[in-house]
Each structure stands twice: as C-alpha cells, then as structure tokens.
Structure 1
Amino acid sequence: MDDTANGAGNAFGMLSGGNQVDSIGELRLADGELFELPGVTGRLERIDFGNGICLHRAELNVREDSRFDVQNALPPGWIAGSANILGELDFDSPDGAKHAMSAETGLMMRIDRPGTRYFLPGGQVIRHAGVTIGLDALRAKFGDDLPAALDPYLSDDQSVIEVRPLGLNNKIRSIVSAMFSAQATGVGRKFKLEGLSTLFLAEMIYAYCLLHHDGEKTPEPSVLEKTVIEDAIAKITRDLASAVSVAQLADAGGMTESRLNSLFKLETGKSCADFIRSRRMEHARELLASREFTVKQVAVAVGFNHVSNFSRSYRDWYGESPAQALKRNSA
C-alpha cells in the first residue's frame, strides 16, 4: 500500500460497535486499508499531498444497514467537496441537521465540531471520494480572487458547520470516476491522484459558486415554458432508447438551447444534456442489476448504437464498466 495511505481509524477516526466477522471481501479498489464495520466491508484510503489538500477514497460493500459515528480527524478550518459516483448514504451533522448524498448529489461542506453519524442503506456498493483543503491553502491558491459565495465556509470560528448540496455534473463525475480507474495506479500514482483531486475540488467550487453567485438570475419560466420543460422531461424519461438531442427538444419547445438549458437547471439542477445522460445511466444500472439483459441489450435500451460507446460512458459515470457491474450483480 502507498506509504501516504493511513488506516481507516487514522484517516476517519471511525467509532463503531458490534462484532466483526473473520473474513473481509475484496473489492476493486486495490489500494487502501481493508476495514469492516457492522454490515460493511471495503477499503478506505487517505492521502495527504503535503500542500494542504487531502484525498479520501472509499469503496464499500454494504451488505446490511449500517450506522457509525465519525470523529473528524482534521483541525478546524477547512472546506471539502464530497461525491459518490455509486451508492447512497445519509448523515446527521453535529447540529442535528440531516444530509443525503447520492450519485446525483454531492456536498460542499465544513464540519469543525465532532459527532457526525452516518447511515449506509444495505444492499449496495458505495464508491466515494472527498477532497479537503485547509483555508490557508485555499486562500493561497485563489489570492485576491476568493469567491464571495464561499464566505460561509471561511469563518475563523472553530465550530463552523456548513453543509450544502450540489448537483454533480458530467465533468465532476468523470474526474471522480478517473480516481477509481486503472489509470490512477502504477508509476506516478500519487502525482496523478493529486492532479485529479485538485481538479475535482476546483470544479466543485466552480459549480457551487455558479449556483450561489449574486449576479443576474435566470428569469422565472412562464406557464408555457413550464409546460415545455415538463413535456421534455416526460419525453426523455419515457423513451430513453431514442436519439433525442438538446437541439431537437429546444426546437420542439420553440426556444433556444441556452434558454432550454437554463430552465432545465432551474427545474432539475442539471443542464438538459446532463439530465438526459443521468437518466440513461440510472436506467442502465437498473437493467444491469436485474441480471435479465446482456450489456448489448442494455446499451440499445438506453440509446447507444455501439456497445463500446456505452461502455465508455458507463465507466465514466460509475467508475466501472457495464460488464464489471453485471458480473458484480451476478456474484
């Protein structure tokens, strides 16, 4: 294991009860510390890059519902982007607020106080990445251009709890997926992961600032525009096998592609193209989980004429190929 990777206890300060089983199942993530909690086995890895940035990666096989407490190992004064490309989890922050993460929704967060409790629903694999950066390192990277939207995270108070959801766009998902790919191993592994971690956090901050900036806001949709968006969402969801495009939907609704994307973001938190792809990938995952279809049949069912293109898109989305997902579901 890389000498920058610490054990699960050192990385996350996890506190859990219950009896442990004797054997730990192997998962695809080759690096990281094997660990187990009640109902969960997997790997956790923490890499400190020595520049104020830390990467936390996890691949978890959640057999049964699991609850555990996490004592924050970081000193007060940091900001993090956190995302799942596979699986769902919930947690209660120390102030009692409830938060959820899924393959669609990540988080921008800072939790200085101890006492976060996680809940992992059983019967799933979770593939998760979180990147933290200390506030001094963040200020050094942004200089005088630190976005005002980040102000809630930048307090010198040492008991800040700030957690906000953020829709995951295709670019962010692809970066996280690359963290779990074969390309993130071998010679230069730490160097590659440092670059991916920096890019991931930069894209999370950029997406967050776009969502929370104080500039000119998108005009509220008219009644007609609301109908157009509802019809477009219904069309996309109803026939995922069709080769529908943003241009076709905009033309059918009598509006520009730019306006259509703005309305989609208001309604779904995603651009129209991101929404189409997310629905296709979600349906593909459901079909593969059913174990009733081949990879080629699933590709056709979600609008891909070539299995190779489907496999590439699925891997970018979930961090594994559809063939690997099918094999895992059949195990």
Structure 2
Amino acid sequence: MDEIDWLVHEAEGRQALRVSERTVIRDSQWDAEIERIEIGPGMRVFLTEVTARSDIAVQPRDTETVPWISSNVAVSGLVEIEMPDGLQVAAGPDQAILFRPSARNPRYHVKAPQRLRLAGYALRVDRVRQIFDGVLPQALAPLLEPDVTASRIIPMQATRQLRSLADSLFSPDLNGPLRHLFIEGAVLQLLARQMAGRIGQRRALGRQEREALAAAHSLLLLDMRQPPSLGELAAAVGLSEKRLNAAFRSEYGGTVFEVLRNHRLEHARIALEAGAAPIKQIAFRVGYNHVTNFINAFTARYGMPPGRYAVTAPDRRGRPQRRITTEN
C-alpha cells in the first residue's frame, strides 16, 4: 500500500509524518486517528476520528491520474469542504455528499472545539460504471463525465439509516479479509442509499418560486424565539408545505425546521464563544424552551455539549487557524 505523507504546518516549521494504513496524532491542538483502507482496485475508504481543540484545515494531495468520485458522511460533528474552484459544502448531521472536484483534492475545515467522526469513501469512475453495469442513475451521470472543469456535488439528506451505515464502518469486530468484505458491502449500501435520498432529484425552482423561497427564508429567521409554523410560512409565501420543504432542501440543504435549527445553533455557538450569557439564557434566546433539548441538539451538531464548548472557547480566541496538508 502506498504511504500517505502528512505535512504538519506549525509556527516553528514543517514536520513530515510517514503514514500507511493508520495514523494517530496526539498534541495540544488535536487528537486524530485516520485510517485509509484499500478495498480492491478502484475503492478506498477513509475513517477519521478527530477531537479538535484548534481550527484545522486538511488537504489531501492525490497523485492519481484517473478520475475518482468521493463521498463524506459525518456520523457526528460537522466538516466544511472547500472545492478547488471555491465551491463550498458541508457534511454534518443533516447532509451527506457525493462529489467530484474539478482538479486537486478539496480542503477540509474542522472548527474547534468538536468531536468529528467522518466516514469517507472514493470510487474510481470506471469502478462506478462497473457497479451499475451500465445502467447509471441519472443524477450520478454529471460526476462520471470524462472531463470535469467545475466541481460537481450531489447533496442528500443524512438520514439516521445513512449515518448508521457510516458508523458501521468503524466497527472493530472484524479483521483481515472479513473486514474488507464487510466494508465493501457497506460502501455499496451507502452509495445506493445516497442515490435514493439525493436532494438533486427534486424539480428545479422557477423565478416566482425562488422569490417566494427567499421571502420564506427571511420570515423564518426574523425571530428565532417565535418563528412561524410550517403552515403559516407556506401560506404567507403562497406555496404548499410539501413544496416549501422540498425547496428548502434543494436551496438550503435541509427542511424548514432543519434550517431554523442550524441557524439557532450557529448563533448559540457564537454566543458561547463570546461568553455572552449562561447556557440556559442562550438556549432561551435562540428559541429553546427546554435546555435539555438545546444541549442534545448542540452536541449532535458540534460533537460536544455546550458547557464543554464554552469552557474551551477562551483557548481559541486569538489563536490562528492551524493548517495541515496531507498527501496520498
């Protein structure tokens, strides 16, 4: 197996770490275990577990000359992915992705503090065609074109079933050929589920619908403490509840409720970093009447409870982001 050359950039210089199947990093800024598994020709799996105490940027460098498509499913935590041409997307509690970058590999941004558990896989384009035996899902076709000049992304809802499949890849119960056989089957199931749940299959929005959607988005986020119900929001902009939810998924990566929740949690994260108020007050201000519900939602999105996030926040203020480059 080819080795992965990790180049760790720190204030004092550059440190090279030689890695093959698994790398383990423990230092003051992050703990990480990253495993790369080759499953026969044309299939790779990357299993990443990170506890980030400082913001991290990771960029794999791929020397492959043949095209691959990739996927990321976050079992817990959130990772922001920046494509070579500037296109950005996130893999987190609500959304998983299939993608093909325009050129070199994308950059992965992990914000601290959080615990990230990320399952990723890569499939060579000819292997994908072989899997589907020539009968390709229509939505997958743009990722398999011979020449891709702009990054292509297929988002889909990260259902509980999808995250459970991704989580099963981390299972330590099997070893050797049995583990490889299990992982190959799990990756094929992930691909099938992702195609079944893709967001891109929904009908495109017309001009009037886009205007209605923008109005609905503004109304929804106008008052996080007392937002309109789905029915009220749909009636206000003249769309059905079903169509409004579908449009939100297509344009904003989640249902009306999911977009509202993510907005609330992002505001809460900023307030926690600023030390603006106690957790109970922050929960109330962003629209949670029960602090337990807030804690559960925050932990699911950021990989740690808000109390721990608030305690570690002062260590991050003023600290520059740490950039890490990987090469495989």
Separation in 2 of the partners of 1:237 and 1:177? Answer: 33
Distance 2:101 2:207 in 1: 36
Match of 1:71 in 2: 62
Structure-1 separation of matches of 2:54 and 2:47: 22
> Counterpart in 2 of 1:163?
151
Deviation at 1:132, TM superposition (A): 1.7
- Matched with 2:82 is 90
Candidates 206, 209, 213, aligned match of 1:229: 213
Distance 1:77 1:116, change over 3 A: closer
- Does the 8 A contact of 1:178 with 1:316 survive in 2? no
Q: Judging changes above 3 Å, is the alpha-carbon distance between structure 1 residues 203 and 197 closer, same or farther for their aligned structure 2 residues? A: same
Deviation at 1:46, TM superposition (A): 2.3
Aligned residues: 297
Alignment deviations for residues 150-174 of structure 1 (CA, whole Å, 9 cap, x no partner): 234335x6x8676323456453898
Q: 1:202: how far off?
A: 4.0
Equivalence for 2:45: 54
Q: Which residue of 2 aligns with 1:297?
A: 281
Where do 1:8-47 residues align within 5 Å? 10=3, 12-15=4-7, 19-20=13-14, 33-35=23-25, 41-47=30-36
Cα RMSD for the two superposed structures: 4.8
For residues 175-198 of structure 1, the C-alpha deviation after alignment (integer angstroms, 9 at most, x for no partner) is 299749xx956656979x948765
> Partner amino acid for 1:307?
V
User: Aligned residue for 2:321?
Assistant: none
> Which residue number in structure 1 is paired with residue 259 of structure 2?
275
Contact 1:80 1:201 in 2 (8 A): no
Residues 293 and 272 (structure 1), Cα distance of their counterparts in 2 relative to 1, 3 Å cut: same
SS of residue in 2 equivalent to 1:298: helix
1:271-301, CA deviations, whole angstroms, 9 ceiling, x for partnerless residues?
A: 3233222212222322222233333333323
Instruction: Give unpaired runs (5+ residues) of structure 1.
Output: 1-5, 22-31
CA distance, structure 2, for counterparts of residue 316 and residue 134 of structure 1:
32
Q: Which of residues 196, 217, 232 in structure 1 aligns to 2:203?
A: 217
8 Å contact 1:110–1:161 — kept in the other structure? Answer: no
TM-score by length of 1: 0.64
Alignment of 1:191-202 (within 5 A): 194=183, 200-202=190-192
Cα gap change, 1:253/1:49 in structure 2, threshold over 3 Å: closer, same or farther?
same
Q: Which runs of 5+ in 2 are unaligned?
A: 16-21, 316-328
Alpha-carbon contact 1:67-1:119 (below 8 Å) kept: yes
- Go from structure 1 to structure 2 and tell me whether the alpha carbon gap of 1:154 and 1:160 turns closer, same or farther (over 3 Å shift): same
8 Å contact kept, 1:108–1:165: yes
* Separation in structure 1 between the aligned mates of residue 248 and residue 148 of structure 2, nearest angstrom: 33
Percentage identity across paired residues of the two chains? 20
Contact 1:81 1:109 in 2 (8 A): yes
1:27 paired residue number: none
1:246 to 230, 255, 258: 230
- In structure 2, the partner of 1:3 is none
Q: Distance in 2 between matches of 1:263 and 1:161?
A: 27
Aligned to 1:25: none
Aligned to 1:146: 136
Write the distance in 2 (CA, Å) between the matches of 1:82 and 1:323: 28
Give SS of 1:98's match.
Answer: coil
Shift of 1:251: 3.2
1:130 to 120, 128, 131: 120
More strand by share: 2
CA contact (8 A) 2:283 2:294 kept: yes
Change (3 A) 1:330 1:59: same
Q: Measured at CA, do residues 232 and 319 of structure 1 come closer, stay the same or move farther in structure 2, by a change above 3 Å?
A: same
Residue 24 of structure 1: aligned partner: none
Give the TM-score normalised by structure 2.
0.65
* Whole-angstrom distance in 1 between the partners of 2:254 and 2:111: 28
